[in-house]
């Protein structure tokens, strides 16, 4: 049986001409039209003075850097420079902060609070409450079974089940978005001997014990710990809850029916408040991974899990002596790919990395509106090409076909999901960061993804990539 292939992802495209988006098209049109209007009413001599400026504006409307419009980069740089001059890119926590101060996490995490809950019959749970938006996020610790040794039929079934799970979120109006996070952490000194020793049956045959001892002895000294989690964010404004207690109850109700077993994933348990505190603290201070007593995390207040000091730079983020860099997705693979397309990014490597995929399933009404707008924009581009005598590019034709196919599939009941990807690496020195960047960008290229560093927004991207805080870029 041949392997199942997947594809059809599209970037949202506004109505633009000749491969430009709507804003670029408008910029170029203004640069061309304004001198003509001035020449008509004020004379050619006056209009001639505007030609250099118009040429620069038109050129700015055409240039993209790694898939990003250069005007957006300039605006981001100006905003970042302004924030740095105001001291807004520097964070000093707790006793390092000048008095008076607020006892908050840095940046976009400041409005969040961690709620410790006791759900009768299901144990404890932790919810991250975003006080400004009212959204609450619960996290599930997962144990993915993997698909490397599974047959193609099983893999196709699991991928289809995951698609159905995402599509079902459209019917759960309270769910705002979901985040799947994979943490890969290299570790010196294998934890395999202790792991195996705790599970060896003393009454097992001596030969079996000898074989296990030889396997452990032959294992490499350096291992990679892989941890997976799923975070679901509920918009309490959609639940009709009148207070925090009611919002918590509605959040737990909305998340109670989650089942991922058909997708090849087992839900270990809901993350407790201590689990979430450990995830946050380990991200900001990798050295805290050495804390092995889970009870110690219960001693931390929510502001304690953040960094003692942090400094955001244009291309990286410094926090508690560690250096992090975060990338975001620019474009998904254009061609059809197999289920293991992300494997290069998920393979163990010499540097830690964290991958977070954000999903937002649109409601039926919103999905229909979005797809109709996309199809109308593709039709308008075809009409423009026909009237101007231009041959449409192969990319435009493929994009129009994808837009039409997506509209047909949605009309037949398929769901529409927005998604993005954030990749973060955290190392000890700037020299290591350069090498880690090379590893990740090479792996992304092998996975057929176009990514770019989150220039000027490293702190916010780092927090978003954690997943557990329920942050969603368009809402920031």
B/e letters for 442-465, b = 16+ CB within 10 Å, e = fewer, are: ebbeebebebbbbbbbbbbbbbbb
Q: Is residue 111's pLDDT more than 70?
A: yes
pLDDT value of position 146: 65
Average pLDDT estimate for 46-70: 85
pLDDT value of position 368: 83
- Under DSSP, the state recorded for 335 is S
Q: Is residue 103's pLDDT more than 80?
A: no
Report which of 276, 264, 322, 340 is spatially closest to residue 302, judged by C-alpha positions.
Answer: 276
Q: Is residue 222's pLDDT more than 70?
A: no
Average pLDDT estimate for 137-146: 84
Average pLDDT estimate for 17-41: 83
pLDDT value of position 367: 84
- Percent of the chain clearing pLDDT 70 (strictly above): 90
Ranking 176-190, 252-266, 321-335 by mean pLDDT, the lowest is: 252-266
pLDDT value of position 42: 82
Average pLDDT of the chain to the nearest whole number: 84
Q: Is the dihedral of CA 392, 396, 398, 403 positive or negative?
A: negative
pLDDT value of position 257: 66
Residue bearing tokens 């995390």: 297
| Other residues' Cβ atoms within 10 Å of the Cβ of residue 380 | 13
- Residue 284 C-alpha from the chain's centroid: 17
Q: Is the dihedral of CA 443, 445, 451, 454 positive or negative?
A: positive
Average pLDDT estimate for 304-315: 91
Confidence of residue 17 (pLDDT cuts 50, 70, 90): low
Average pLDDT estimate for 70-79: 90
Q: Is residue 122's pLDDT more than 80?
A: no
Q: Is residue 152's pLDDT more than 90?
A: no
Domain residue limits, the chain: 93-362+415-475
- Express each pLDDT in 350-367 by its tens digit: 899 999 999 998 888 888
Q: Is residue 295's pLDDT more than 80?
A: no
Residue bearing tokens 């410094």: 318
Confidence of residue 102 (pLDDT cuts 50, 70, 90): low
pLDDT value of position 314: 94
* pTM, entire model: 0.87
Q: How many residues does the chain have?
A: 476
């Amino acid at each position: 049986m041949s392997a199942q292939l997947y594809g059809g992802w599209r970037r949202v495209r506004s109505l633009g001409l000749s491969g430009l988006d709507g804003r670029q098209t408008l910029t170029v049109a203004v640069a061309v039209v304004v001198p003509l209007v001035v020449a008509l009413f004020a004379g050619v001599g006056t209009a001639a003075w505007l030609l250099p400026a118009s040429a620069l504006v038109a050129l700015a409307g055409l240039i993209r850097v790694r898939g990003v419009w250069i005007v957006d980069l300039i605006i981001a740089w100006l905003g970042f420079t302004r924030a740095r001059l105001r001291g807004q890119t520097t964070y000093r926590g707790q006793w390092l902060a000048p008095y008076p101060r607020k006892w908050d996490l840095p940046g976009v995490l400041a409005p969040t609070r961690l709620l410790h809950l006791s759900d009768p019959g299901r144990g404890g749970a932790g919810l991250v409450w975003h006080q400004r938006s009212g959204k609450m996020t619960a996290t599930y610790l997962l144990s993915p079974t993997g698909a490397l040794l599974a047959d193609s039929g099983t893999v196709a079934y699991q991928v289809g089940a995951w698609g159905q799970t995402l599509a079902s979120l459209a019917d759960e109006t309270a769910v705002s978005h979901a985040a799947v996070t994979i943490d890969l952490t290299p570790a010196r000194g294998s934890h395999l001997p202790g792991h195996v020793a705790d599970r060896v049956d003393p009454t097992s045959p001596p030969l079996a014990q000898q074989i296990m001892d030889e396997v452990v002895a032959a294992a490499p000294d350096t291992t990679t710990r892989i941890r997976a989690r799923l975070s679901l964010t509920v918009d309490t404004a959609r639940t009709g809850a009148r207070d925090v207690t009611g919002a918590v109850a509605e959040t737990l109700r909305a998340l109670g029916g989650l089942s991922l077993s058909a997708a090849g994933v087992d839900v270990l348990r809901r993350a407790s408040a201590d689990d979430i505190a450990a995830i946050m603290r380990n991200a900001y201070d990798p050295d805290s991974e050495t804390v092995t007593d889970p009870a110690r995390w219960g001693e931390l207040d929510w502001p304690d899990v953040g960094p003692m000091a942090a400094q955001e730079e244009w291309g990286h983020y410094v926090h508690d002596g560690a250096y992090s860099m975060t990338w975001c997705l620019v474009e998904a693979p254009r061609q059809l790919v197999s289920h293991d397309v992300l494997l290069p990014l998920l393979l163990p490597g010499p540097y830690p990395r964290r991958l977070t995929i954000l999903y937002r399933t649109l409601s039926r009404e919103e999905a229909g509106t979005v797809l109709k707008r996309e199809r109308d924009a593709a039709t308008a581009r075809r009409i423009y090409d026909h009237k101007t005598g231009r041959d449409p590019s192969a990319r435009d034709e493929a994009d129009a076909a994808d837009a039409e196919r997506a509209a047909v599939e949605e009309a037949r009941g398929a769901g529409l999901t927005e998604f993005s990807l954030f990749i973060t690496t955290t190392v000890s020195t700037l020299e290591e960061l350069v090498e880690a960047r090379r590893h990740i960008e090479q792996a992304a290229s092998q996975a057929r993804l176009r990514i770019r560093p989150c220039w000027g927004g490293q702190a916010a991207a780092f927090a978003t990539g954690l997943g557990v805080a329920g942050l969603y870029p368009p809402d920031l």
